[in-house]
Structure 1
């Protein structure tokens, strides 16, 4: 059976986390509308309400992605450190 090697670059993960965080910080906000009795304003307000709901959902998704990447990175580093300790012990026993 052939081995599969997966290379994960922690720096790339950090760059992507920073990028996603900047997206959240720089999210644009829908401008408030003045009260009006026009049908067009009512329709535009409804569209902005839908867009605002989408923006909230997107923000949640980005936040969840950031959390996932941070947890994956931390787990990878932890497993790597534990593997290094096990390998070091095995090498000591072999000598």
Structure 2
């Protein structure tokens, strides 16, 4: 690719970005049930999920340790399987 450039986004609308170590994906926030216009990521120092809210320019914990009934999700890397037909 000869013509790469950065694109600054001020908002995602109804979409959300989940960012992992090796993977990231955009999702429709209302279909998934998460906050829109946010970036979800794992803070490596504490190994907990955080989200960056683009509208307010703030970072907050996704789940707290003070009685939250929701358990922090675990990022699962895809498993690639090689399937060979052996006769």
- Shorter-chain TM-score bucket reads under 0.3
User: As a proportion of its length, which structure holds more strand?
Assistant: 2
User: As a proportion of its length, which structure holds more helix?
Assistant: 1
Q: Which protein, 1 or 2, shows the higher relative CO under an 8 Å CA cutoff with sep ≥ 6?
A: 1
TM-score of the aligned structures, taking structure 2 as reference length: 0.25
TM-score of the aligned structures, taking structure 1 as reference length: 0.23
Based on CA coordinates, which of the two structures has the bigger radius of gyration? 1
